[in-house]
Amino acid sequence: MILKINNVTKKFGGVSAITDTSFSVQDGDIYGLIGPNGAGKTTMFNIITGNYKPTNGSVEFKGEIISKLKPYEIVRKGIARTFQNIRLFKSMSVLDNVLIGFDHYAKYTFFESMFRLPRFFSAEKKIKEKALLILKYLDLEEFSNDKATDLSYGQQRKVEIARALATAPKLLLLDEPAAGMNPAETKELALLLKKAKKDFGLSILLIEHDMKFVNQLCNKVLVLDYGKSIFEGSPSDAIRDKEVVAAYLGDFNHD
């Protein structure tokens, strides 16, 4: 088990965005967190990554409680994420955006950086080589010197994934990775994530509305509705569950 959510509740004032929710992600899983808009999915991501602290309950990663850690400390533990709205540095190249992910792996001091001492150049060269390998893996190497925001929407999504991979995560959190992609790009992304899971030794937790994409990838899903867990199981069972259908489409009766 790589991630365990223990009875997590998150309140904002008097409003409960997440209520007493528990689930676990096994090592090597591709686990889906699904539900209608406003269900609390991104709030859960923000709790896992330390941007929000749970009101009650805890987050456990590889057997360690991480609920009180700061976001950068959680990244160093081995959790990386992408965002629903792409967050790339607009004025920077594709390569520079990915290099940021290697920041905490820099093996030189501020003094060595400031005075451009030999260890600084050696470390920077190794980091750049690793970044280019990741870009090559994602078929982005030819765009390495282009401004990140000049790429297509689907390519920008992949740059964000590349930056996340640069942190060497064990758990990768993807917030609607297929949003805005056409069917061909979505299919390509599904194949890429399956391959990356194996090649990088990842477990993946993703938020997604595209159920075809979820069915292609996820071995298990948790369905949230108004911050509460209403279903956990296989994607194929989820779409046949009456409570899940009601959450997405509203209650209805057949005459």
Instruction: Say how far residue 210 (Cα) sits from the centre of its chain.
Output: 16
The answer to whether residues 127 and 230 belong to one domain is no
Centre a 10 Å sphere on the Cβ of residue 153 and count the other Cβ atoms it contains: 12
Domain finish residue from 147, 167, 187: 167
The answer to whether residues 70 and 137 belong to one domain is no
pLDDT tens for residues 222-241?
999 999 999 999 999 998 99
The answer to whether residues 124 and 67 belong to one domain is no
Alpha-carbon span 31 to 52, nearest angstrom:
21
Q: Where are the alpha helices (DSSP H) in 166-253?
A: 183-199, 211-217, 235-238, 242-249
In this prediction, residue 105 carries a pLDDT of 60
For 238, the domain range is: 1-78+169-255
pLDDT at residue 204 is higher than 50 = yes
Q: Answer whether residue 84 is part of any domain.
A: no
Centre a 10 Å sphere on the Cβ of residue 142 and count the other Cβ atoms it contains: 10
pLDDT tens for residues 101-133?
887 665 544 444 454 545 555 667 788 889 999
Centre a 10 Å sphere on the Cβ of residue 29 and count the other Cβ atoms it contains: 20
The answer to whether residues 68 and 173 belong to one domain is yes
The angle at the Cα of 147, spanning 143 to 149, to the nearest 5 degrees, equals 105
Number of structural domains the chain divides into: 2
The answer to whether residues 154 and 189 belong to one domain is no
